[in-house]
Structure 1
Amino acid sequence: MQSFRHFLSLFMLISIFATAPAIAKPVPVPATKPAIEQPKPASPLPKPEPKQSPTPEPQNMQKPERIYQAACLPLLQNEITGKVLPPVKEGQCEIRSPLEITAFNKPISIALDQPVTTNCTMAVALNEWVQQANSLAKTHLGSDIKTIGSGSHYQCRNVNNGANGRVSEHAFANALDIMSFTLTNGETTELAKDWNGKDKQKQFWRALHAKSCSLFMTVLGPEADDAHKTNLHLDMGCHGKSCTYRICQ
């Protein structure tokens, strides 16, 4: 009887364990996946700047005209003392290659009493004229020339300073007025008083007037008009269709 009870207790104990719910084993939790780094959006490419068409130049803008100047042979050969000046453009007056001359060096050094603005054509003629004038001075006055007394040279004006009329050759540095000469012996001769003065001065001025007419295109002296009673006007102006006609008064 006791053995039966013992068996029954054991049986019941086994039944309890058999029917007890099984202890759930912990379910393994999967490891957290690292967050996938999303790629950063690429920076937008800079938009190309729109091409700008070149700004058209205003129609009235012109390139500056090229300045042409010419060398002058007597100046290069040191027959004349002077220098080249910038081109002159003064209203109706224009000189491409003006010169400022102060002395002539042939046959001896002969100075001008003031710097004279002229052009190369006049400078060439004046260079020859001074040599002829000095030869006449030695013949009639017995001395070389030391200084030339000059009047008008470049002036932007009309003939005889008129309000109207044609433009003077002085306006193109193409003319020079001669007033007097100082000699190396100290004497002075002036056109105003010596054109009809003592014989030697009178002969000198009249011979110089005649010689000038073979070197210049225009020569105007005291017998031309009242405007030239005191000066001998010399210029290289063009007369006639072929520029070969000379005026000698």
Structure 2
Amino acid sequence: MRLLRMVSWTSMMLLPFIASAQIAPQPLPRPDAVRPDPVPPASPAAPLPDEAADCLARLKRQKVRFNVTGRSERGSCSVDNTVEIEAVDTPFGLVSFPDKPVLACDFAATLTSFVQDIAAPLARARFSAPLSHVATGPGYVCRNRNNQSDTKPSEHARAAAADVTMFTLGDGRQIAVHPDDGKDDAATLAFIRGLRHAACGYFTTVLGPGSNAEHGNHFHFDTALHGRTANYRICE
């Protein structure tokens, strides 16, 4: 009897543990996921310098006389930030561009720098007279290279080229670009050759008499890239 009471008591004591063992364990409640602080909206990027305005300011600092033509469209071609060049002031006097070429602003700055730095002082040194005019043609022309239908667009179509045909001095003398026929005096030969060599420091392409038939009566200057950088030059 006593043994029966002990068994009953033991069973009663173990009953809660047995019951709890039959209940499947429940997972602990998950804490709320940690949420990162919201990312603040990106600040607007600093505006890039106004390249067009900077270039026009550069021309003014160079004492170039020009008219802003902005976006120029001719045929299927269009070029932004073009200017019409009238003249440039040099240490040896004003040099005019009677053809008033329309050029991309960057190229206009390069061409007028070349006239200021090279053409004007070289004319004074060789002829004892100031350079007065530089004939350039229209500059911007919507066409392919050498006016051929199966060639790539010319740099003229990008307003980044000029064809210089003649230099006029203050005393009226004219120095035309033409093949060396042995008839020019020493000063003229030195002037033309000096310009041609020095131009390679300003332009990436320099062509003229002797380069090919298309450039027999003028200098062609442009700033086209012939590789990834402007280090490679075509000077013929």
Matches within 5 A, 1:143-162: 143-162=129-148
Give the alignment partner of residue 212 of structure 1, picking from 187, 193, 199: 199
1:127 lines up with 2:93 in the alignment? no
TM alignment of 1:23-42, pairs within 5 A: none
Match of 1:115 among 95, 100, 113: 100
Aligned residues of 1:146 and 1:183 also touching (Cα < 8 A): yes
CA contact (8 A) 1:195 1:205 kept: no
Listed as ranges, the matches of 1:77-92 within 5 Å are 77=61, 79-90=63-74, 92=76
Distance between the aligned counterparts of 1:194 and 1:181, measured in 2?
A: 16
Residue pair 1:75, 1:83 contacting (<8 A) in 2 also: no
In structure 1, stretches of 5+ residues that fail to align are 1-67
The alignment partner of 2:52 has SS state of coil
Find the aligned partners of 1:116 and 1:218 in 2 and give their Cα distance: 18
- The one-letter amino acid of 1:110's match is V
Q: Is the 8 A contact 1:217 1:237 kept in 2?
A: yes
Distance 2:133 2:181 in 1: 19
Give the Å deviation of 1:221. Answer: 1.0
Alignment RMSD (CA, Å): 1.9
Segments of structure 2 that go 5 or more residues without pairing to the other structure are 1-49
Measure how far apart 1:83 and its partner are.
Answer: 1.4
Are 1:104 and 1:110, in contact at CA under 8 Å, matched by a contact in 2? Answer: yes
CA contact (8 A) 1:153 1:176 kept: yes
Greater helix proportion: 2
CA distance in 2, matches of 1:142, 1:124: 26
1:27-76 Cα offsets, whole Å, 9 max, x none, are xxxxxxxxxxxxxxxxxxxxxxxxxxxxxxxxxxxxxxxxx971223333
The equivalent of 1:70 in structure 2 is 52
The 8 Å contact of residues 80 and 101 in structure 1, kept in 2 or not, is answered as yes
Superposed structure 1 runs of 4+ greater than 3 Å apart: 89-92, 193-196
For normalisation by structure 1, the TM-score amounts to: 0.68
Q: State how far apart, in whole Å, the 1-side matches of 2:181 and 2:214 are.
A: 15
Percent sequence identity is 31
Larger Rg: 1
Deviation at 1:92, TM superposition (A): 4.6
Q: What secondary structure sits across from 2:221 in the alignment? A: strand
| Alpha-carbon distance, 1:193 to partner | 6.2
Q: Output the CA distance in 2 between the equivalents of 1:162 and 1:154.
A: 17
Q: Structure 2: how far apart are the matches of 1:194 and 1:103?
A: 29
Instruction: Specify the SS of the correspondent of 2:168.
Output: strand
Amino acid at match of 2:188: Q
1:236 pairs with one of 223, 229, 236 = 223
